[in-house]
Structure 1
Amino acid sequence: MISELNQRSRDIFRTIVDAYVETGEPIGSRTISRRLGIPLSPATIRNVMADLEDLGLLYAPHTSAGRLPTEAGLRLFVHGLLEIGALSEQERESIDAKCATSGRSLPDVLAEASSMLSGLSSCAGLVLAPKTDRALKHIEFVNLAPGRALVVLVTEDGLVENRVVEVPLGMPGSTLQTASNYLNAKLIGRTLDEAKTAVVREIDDQRTQLDELSSRVVEAGLATWAGSGSTGHLIVRGQAKLLDDVTALSDLERIRALFEALETKEAMLRLLDAANKAEGVQIFIGAENTLFSHAGCSMIIAPYQDSREQIVGAIGVIGPTRINYARIIPMVDYTAKVIGRLLG
């Protein structure tokens, strides 16, 4: 459809989208004429706006009002007309500093990166933390309370995660130590799935020296990790920023719908997982995906890779459809590359 727009139509369309990103308000022909800086009469501009409306790129929210871009119009603009800005050296240095490990665990770094993107973009920051399919270094069972134990998993690249598992009541502490020793002997250098396959097969074949109680603990620990770690987990920061610029009840309803969507972690993980299957920054605008079909929101997200150049997670922002795409796209892209270097 871009090819159907002449230069005049593109200039007017760009002016309308830029105004929408700045204010969220409809813009009329006289304001457009002043902004363009070229001699075009309001009547000529109105004719072009009518053509753009016929193409489904603009709409009038009220009678005799100015025009706003439709979600289809925004998608056309972002994918065909947007001039993406470049990050300043100061912005790059800020992102580098926020993502520095300096003794912190990877989940802490990712949470900080999500908060940083939220602050820079005035949106909510999202991170899909890496899947636990990397080589393992250590596992340990720690007694918490009767019937409950903590499983601590450490990967070779320093990711530390914890899970709580149920264990038989009255179980002696030595059983947890036996389970820890057994798994550490089996899992070093293997991924979680590889370790689980080998251990379960050995237990089934009764070739293990574990007693029945220790076997149950080992299986419970592996089942918990395999079940919850296969799709990674979602970190969301800065949801409150989405309320900073609410100007109407309809906006509030959209934000409330978005909050509910963010709480539906399973749906978010599916969407982020879809972003992981593509290279580079992905942009989802409004009804382009089912999650935000009623929320009037956009998501900008980029996958990041580990040292084996495999995509293991994604990072980005979510906000209203009038977010500053030109500024946020390179910000998300650079942050994803920085995190990828940390995992390299």
Structure 2
Amino acid sequence: METGSLTGLDQRARDIFRRIVESYLETGDPVGSRTLSMTGVSLSPASIRNTMQDLTLAGLLGAPHTSAGRIPTHAGLRLFVDGLLEIGDIGAEERREIDARLAASSGKNGGRSFDEALNEASSLLSGLAGGASIVASPIRDAGVKHVEFVALGHDQALAVLVGDDGSVENRLMPLKAGVTPSTLTEASNFLNARLKGRPLHEARTEMRTELDAARRELNAAAARLVEDGMAAWSGGAERERSLIVRGRANLLHDRETAEDLEKVRTLFDDLEQKEQLIGLLDGVSTAQGVRIFIGAETRLFSLSGSAVIAAPYMTGRQRVLGAIGVIGPARLNYARIIPLVDYTARVLGRILDGQET
């Protein structure tokens, strides 16, 4: 029997495997041959046990502790999700709730309401899915509209960057000796000529090269000011991105054993790894549709044995903005959560797309 493939399973093995996984996802309990024999399987308990043993040897089922029953392994869950899971659709009431709450959170303008839409989507999804939700804010890749250095005194200036999307970044900067009003103007003009219309995070590397060559054109004080200004503005850099996590308390429901609670504590630790979580969601953003990660398929969740269901949210022009997802135990209700994540991501994309125009 081939691990990770349905081709090695005959119809009897497929049916028993499917029933075991569905029962486990519903109850969380190991499934024994006697239980299966009472669910309509037209086989003797002995025949069922033999088939379960074959599935165990194939790496699709495991025996927790001393229980006589079996539960699916992570490899078994992956096989079930990829080949046997029947995904339905979300109900009309849930659609209306998602549409209404995200529309209400978006407001009429960008700015603060952009972040409110992300927060509302995260809270909404964790409540509907019954797990913890995660949303990574997008990399803001709008072009630069205007930059300016404004003196606030003899030793301090304000570095102002205005984006094409209306965003404004203000950063306080110390002024070194030798900086005059004409120096501020010279540095501002230099950057406006080279940055206008370009995303700052894309222009950084080229600007360092250009600045080295332009030092002959700029006086030393203006060159230092340009360099300090480029360092001060984030321009959507990774370090400025936020990660929204909602619904941690949902992960504590139905956790009865010490092992269950230890896995949740490990997952809580995982949820603090902002950089790795953003990296995971950025990986989702490169794909079309919903992606599912189970257990050790991601290094971040290998110890907690958790699962992630995530989807990219994008504009109507198919430009990916970011990703949103649900995290929980491997025993997630995949059939229900997959369409929830997919629909929420699509509505969120439409909402944020409207704010960009």
- TM-score between both structures, scaled by the size of structure 1: 0.83
Alignment-mate amino acid for residue 300 of structure 1 = I
Please name the residue that 1:298 is paired with.
307
Q: Separation in 2 of the partners of 1:294 and 1:148?
A: 49
Q: Separation in 2 of the partners of 1:14 and 1:143?
A: 69
Please name the residue that 1:343 is paired with.
353
Cα distance, 1:192 vs. partner?
A: 1.6
Q: Separation in 1 of the partners of 2:155 and 2:130?
A: 44
For the pair 1:13 / 2:17, whether they are aligned, the reply is yes
Contact 2:140–2:235, Cα closer than 8 Å, also in 1 = no
Q: What secondary structure sits across from 2:66 in the alignment?
A: coil
Q: Separation in 1 of the partners of 2:231 and 2:7?
A: 54
Contact 1:167–1:217, Cα closer than 8 Å, also in 2 = no
2:174 corresponds to which of 167, 189, 197: 167
Cα deviations by residue, 1:24-81 (Å, 9 ceiling, x for unpaired): 11122222222x3343332222222111111111111133521111011001101111
Q: Separation in 1 of the partners of 2:308 and 2:159?
A: 34
For the pair 1:229 / 2:237, whether they are aligned, the reply is yes
Please name the residue that 2:107 is paired with.
102
For the pair 1:251 / 2:260, whether they are aligned, the reply is yes
Q: What secondary structure sits across from 2:7 in the alignment?
A: helix
Q: Separation in 2 of the partners of 1:161 and 1:126?
A: 26
Contact 1:179–1:217, Cα closer than 8 Å, also in 2 = no
Gapped regions of structure 1 (runs ≥ 5): none
Q: Separation in 1 of the partners of 2:301 and 2:119?
A: 23
Cα distance, 1:11 vs. partner?
A: 2.1
Please name the residue that 2:51 is paired with.
48
Cα deviations by residue, 1:217-261 (Å, 9 ceiling, x for unpaired): 554343244486247442222222212232211122212222222
Q: Separation in 1 of the partners of 2:299 and 2:199?
A: 33
Matches within 5 A, 1:80-99: 80-99=83-102
Matches within 5 A, 1:68-79: 68-79=71-82
Alignment-mate amino acid for residue 260 of structure 2 = D
Gapped regions of structure 2 (runs ≥ 5): none
Equivalenced residue count is 341
Q: Separation in 2 of the partners of 1:163 and 1:255?
A: 40
Contact 1:84–1:326, Cα closer than 8 Å, also in 2 = yes
Percent of residue pairs identical: 52
Structure-2 change in CA distance of 1:282 and 1:237 (3 Å) = same
Of 42-51 and 326-335, more deviation after overlay is shown by: 42-51
Alignment-mate amino acid for residue 9 of structure 1 = A
Contact 1:123–1:318, Cα closer than 8 Å, also in 2 = yes
Structure-2 change in CA distance of 1:114 and 1:107 (3 Å) = same
Q: Separation in 2 of the partners of 1:147 and 1:328?
A: 55
Q: Separation in 2 of the partners of 1:338 and 1:275?
A: 17
1:191 corresponds to which of 190, 195, 199: 199
Alignment-mate amino acid for residue 102 of structure 1 = G
Q: Separation in 2 of the partners of 1:235 and 1:92?
A: 22
For the pair 1:314 / 2:318, whether they are aligned, the reply is no
Contact 1:141–1:179, Cα closer than 8 Å, also in 2 = no
Cα distance, 1:92 vs. partner?
A: 1.5
Please name the residue that 1:116 is paired with.
124
Larger radius of gyration: 2
